Amino acid sequence: MFINSIWALLPPLVAIILALITKEVYSSLFVGIVCGGLLYAEFNPVTALEHVFSDGMIGQLSDPWNVGILIFLVILGSIVILMNRAGGSAAFGRWASLHVKTRMGAQLATVALGVLIFIDDYFNCLTVGSVMRPITDKNRISREKLAYLIDATAAPICIIAPISSWAAAVTGFVEGTNGLALFIRAIPYNLYAFLTIAMMLVLCIGRFDYGPMKKAEEMLRKGKAEANDEKEKKDTDVKDPEALRVSDKGKVIHLVLPILTLIFCCVIGMIYTGGFFEGESFVDAFANSDASVGLVYGSAVALILTILFYLISGVLSFKECMETIPAGFKSMVPAILILTLAWTLKSMTDSLGAGDYVAGLVGQVAENGMVMSFLPAFVFLIGAFLSFATGTSWGTFGLLIPIVVAAFGSDPSNELMIISISACMAGSVCGDHCSPISDTTIMASAGADCVHIRHVSTQLPYALTAAGVSLAGYVLTGFVRNWLITLPLSLALMVGVLLIIKNLGGESPLEKTTQND
């Protein structure tokens, strides 16, 4: 009765609506999970209980991919605590204070670092957050704004980088043709990614905000943000209550070298899982890599090398290094809990056939030749909605990309197929960007140390603005079918919309005060 029908979309919608209303994410996710279990069991409480915990939560926590991600988070949390305790973060903050002296400079530096770390979105979120948080705090940038900058340079960058875990995932969903070649050809048509990046630059350089983000910046200016953070996080912040001693011997190299080591080791770990050392080419190894396992290998080796580096340089003792391991785990408990609940909710929607239901709608449209030119816009909307409801971009790729490829007969010369694949990727990233149950959104909140639901509520108007312009761009692209025309026009429209918003009162009082000073 409820399977493979519109009812399958109810559990994630319940969770999302409750989270936005109550501003409490844990209970909202759990209510959505229970709703999904009851629908699946047709309101039999015993069957629903078994489905929620056995098939749902336990099943998700025993999934090798998910376990790998959790291990990676724990190791990465330990590395971040380790760098902080070694004094590397403090030293980098002192160095940056001499070179980054404005709010605009701090925001642009955050964007630049996010663009440089294009290998994986999880890695991007936590690394950029830990490095830039002291700098943005000093320059009076709200944690909500930092979380947005992190989130907007994670998935949007990864989805247009040929060498990334996202590229590997997308190419794995394309059968019957060269997936990586299609991915590269689809990059210029990924309007949401380019428009999101352009939007960040306009907001930073134009020195304005709007919507809830503007309010968050105003609260920071009035000195209220920190008090509100403490009030909202007192029950969920489980970081080590006893602050670890920070070494006074730390230098910038004690932050930069571990990060470079982490990047290098993660890349090696990913291509290792793809068979690079067994004769595969670098590109093929990346396309065939297991990102979850590769990130665990890379981060584990990087953690060991970082500890050895700190011991040899004398900034920390062995005992002090070991104390960071449990502290790193504790720092990731909120993110791990939200991820576990989000994955469980996804399993509920999967069991109800939400993906198959939405994919069927796309297939029906693809069969109608009269509306083929509108297919990219339609695929973008469906991808965004499905990703928003399920909280997963990769799951949306897996459902929609094969349908799009099949609709065009796997003909790589068909430009409309390339555009539709790109629209699927863009819509998936858009929905992921908006969804409070998205793992990338959760990681961005963790990286910025921002209350999760406040990150979601402040980012949503920005993401919807980029989505609206992207939709208009895909309507045009379906008819023009030339990115040399549609991409510049879409970027110009994005800038125009933002300038209109600014003229309507989007300028932040914090920026206005800074300029007057």
Residue 133 near residue 145 (C-beta atoms within 8 A): no
Q: Mean pLDDT: which of 5-9, 441-445, 512-516 is highest?
A: 441-445
Q: Is the pLDDT of residue 401 over 80?
A: no
pLDDT at position 176 is: 57
Give yes or no for residue 497 having a pLDDT over 60.
yes
Residue 230 has pLDDT above 50, yes or no: no
- Identify the pLDDT of residue 339: 72
Q: Rounded CA gap, 505 and 400, in Å?
A: 39
When mean pLDDT is compared across 68-72, 186-190, 332-336, the lowest value belongs to 332-336
Element counts in the chain: helices (H) and strands (E):
28, 0
Do residues 174 and 418 lie in contact, with contact meaning Cβ atoms separated by under 8 Å? no
Residue 505 pLDDT greater than 80, yes or no:
no
Question: How many CB atoms within 10 Å of residue 63?
Answer: 14
Indicate if the pLDDT at residue 514 is higher than 60: no
Residue 476 confidence (pLDDT)? 92
User: Is it the case that residue 345 has pLDDT exceeding 90?
Assistant: no
End-to-end CA distance of the chain: 64
pLDDT in tens, 136-177: 888 888 999 999 999 998 888 888 887 666 666 676 566 555
Buried b (16+ CB within 10 A) or exposed e, 8-40: bbbbbebbbebbeeeeebeebbbbbbbbbbbbb
**Structure confidence at residue 270 (pLDDT):** 81
Place 515 in a pLDDT band, splitting at 50, 70 and 90: very low
Instruction: Name the pLDDT band for 293 (thresholds 50, 70, 90).
Output: confident
Per-residue pLDDT of 169-214, as tens digits, reads: 676 566 555 566 778 888 999 999 999 999 999 999 998 899 999 9
Non-local (6+) Cβ contacts of 352 within 8 A are 2, 3, 4, 7, 8, 11, 36, 39, 40
39 compared with 439, residue with greater pLDDT: 39
Work out the percent of the chain whose per-residue pLDDT is above 70: 82
Q: How far apart are CA 216 and CA 238, in angstroms?
A: 24
Which of residues 238 and 456 earns the better pLDDT score?
A: 456
